[in-house]
Amino acid sequence: MKLQFSVPLVLIFLTLFNSNLFGQTSNETSDYQIIPKPAFQEILNGTFKVDKKTKIVCDKELTQEADYLSGILGAALGKTLKVDSKEVSGDIVLKLDDAIENTEGYELKVNTNEIVISGKTSTGVFYGIQTLKQLMPADIEKATKIGSSFTIPAVIIKDEPRFVYRGMHLDVGRHFFPVSFIKQYIDLIAMHKMNTFHWHLTEDQGWRIEIKKYPKLTEIGAFRNGTIVGHHPGAENDQKVYGGFYTQEEIKEIVAYAASKHVTVIPEIELPGHSAAAIAAYPELSCFPEEPTNLGKSPMSEKSKELQANGTAKVVYETWGVTGDVYCAGKENTFKFLEDVLAEVLPLFPSKYIHIGGDECPKGNWKRCPHCQSKIKSLGLHDEHELQSYFIQRIEKFVNAKGKQIIGWDEILEGGLAPNATVMSWRGTKGGIESAKQHHDVIMAPNSHCYFDHYQSKDKANEPLAIGGFTNVEKVYSYNPEPEELTEEEKQYILGAQANVWTEYMETTDYVEYMILPRMTALSEVVWTAQDQRDWSDFKLRLPNLIERYKAMNLNYAKHSLSEEE
């Protein structure tokens, strides 16, 4: 007998053929909520099953990445998965592919029988793993079992970043955070396919890195005798000694940890301003060593008052804002000190860059300092701005001689830009535009869009205390790091962008998490995904997938972040 099917029956049959009855599933767009958005994505039917028998094979250069993936899957399944770098066939394959052009690019292919992650380099493979994680259940982020197996939807993804520099900054000078949190911060950077951790290690309020030649930097400079309470200038002083620092061994541990997550650590040693903690340790670095530290309208701790009454003029700064007590630019011992410090710092960080600050350096002391005025005269300089340029350029020569390059805040443009300097533009975009037009590399970090110490809701009464401003997730997402004022040639000098996290009011790790998430998530797409592929409405649809992972990781993210009424 000849079988005949009506049209509806045929459709039913075809649906069943493409269903679990035949080992296939028809996947939906909702199964692929990836941030940052990939350059190319093709949705396939079916799923790949991960269980305790799943085997990972890899090129021998990718054992670190394979072990990393094995750890993620093993934590979810309750069993460490086998990794083999000698075999060529397996369930999950990690391999290098010279045909991929971008050094951080990758290809991810998932079908019912196999997962293949290819990269130009190990970094690309690592980012492919980050994408794979977002295709897994959110519980994969927990170090607990989610079951004996789970599935990953089939897909082909080809991806690469828009910018070479994708960074997050963290100020540990105002408030100090333990090694464990610094590692967690690095994990978040890696999770978002960002590649740089800008570590702000020295400040007026605390010196945070061990320098063996100058032990007082951490004996004295790493601890302040009190901190203002409330918003600057503060109603009172809490009278509590506060501080901490990282040993050189801890620095090495963190740098190695970051390298394993394909994150470069760039240290910042502030100069010539924001140096009150170092001056408290070594007052001779100041233009006027005998003049007592002045907190202006902010209340000083009783301990510091007592020290000053007994002849100790300089104390670690206990308030926020800017102090005029900066490194003396006219004394040779200032440069000897800084070169000695940098000689210890530079070998700890493999990065080709070191950030030397250069921002917010009041010139009042220099104007009345006989040493500084003598230096201006002897060098034939016009003013104190050119003296700062001399200061920066002299440090740059030392750093360059050590095989490194400097990054400075956009104030280093004043008085003349150091020859090989990279400019980090924070006072809006003007400094970045000017630097790119001069054919200097630029990292964009404008306070208008990339300062995560700003409020993220207009309802400030129900927000944690912040420095001011308003920068919500949508505003971060709207940012384009390539200014329209630049030509296509000049835009090539824009290396990328980063968010800055200044911690005057962030006393705890939970506080930092709240201030960066999910604004960091928005920025990750800004610096990774091509401008013409970004869309705010589309991003909002994909963000809940990351939010579920924040929940699984017990992160304190800002839950109101997508409100249209912010």
Catalytic residues: 360
- SS3 state of residue 79: coil
The secondary structure of 479-526 as a DSSP string is: --SS-TTS-HHHHTTEEEEEEB---TT--SHHHHHHHHTTHHHHHHHH
Contacts of 161 (CB under 8 A, 6+ apart): 102, 104, 105, 193, 527, 528
Cβ pair 246, 179 in contact under 8 A? yes
Q: How far apart are CA 232 and CA 356, in angstroms?
A: 26
- Angle of helix 179-191 relative to helix 122-135, nearest 10 degrees, comes to 80
Q: What is the DSSP letter of 380?
A: T
For 64, the token pair is: 């670190």
Q: How far apart are CA 545 and CA 285, in angstroms?
A: 52
Size (the chain), residues = 566
Q: How far apart are CA 191 and CA 126, in angstroms?
A: 10
- Characterise 128 by phi-psi region: left (phi > 0), alpha (psi -120 to 50), beta (else): alpha
Q: How far apart are CA 340 and CA 344, in angstroms?
A: 7
Distances (CA, A) of 65 to 68, 71, 182, 353: 5, 10, 21, 25
Q: How far apart are CA 452 and CA 445, in angstroms?
A: 11
Q: How far apart are CA 203 and CA 537, in angstroms?
A: 40
For 514, the token pair is: 């709240």
For 520, the token pair is: 């960091």
Cβ pair 56, 69 in contact under 8 A? yes
- The residue type found at 186 is I
Q: How far apart are CA 68 and CA 117, in angstroms?
A: 14
- Distance from the Cα of residue 73 to its chain's centroid: 26
Largest CA distance in the chain: 111
Per the DSSP assignment, residues forming a β-bridge with 55 are 82
269 CB-contact burial (10 Å; exposed 0-12 / middle 13-18 / buried 19+): buried
For 125, the token pair is: 């493979």
- Angle of helix 536-552 relative to helix 122-135, nearest 10 degrees, comes to 80
Whether residue 362 is preceded by a cis peptide bond, meaning omega within 30 degrees of 0, is: no
The secondary structure of 520-552 as a DSSP string is: HHHHHHHHHS-GGG--HHHHHHHHHHHHHHHHH
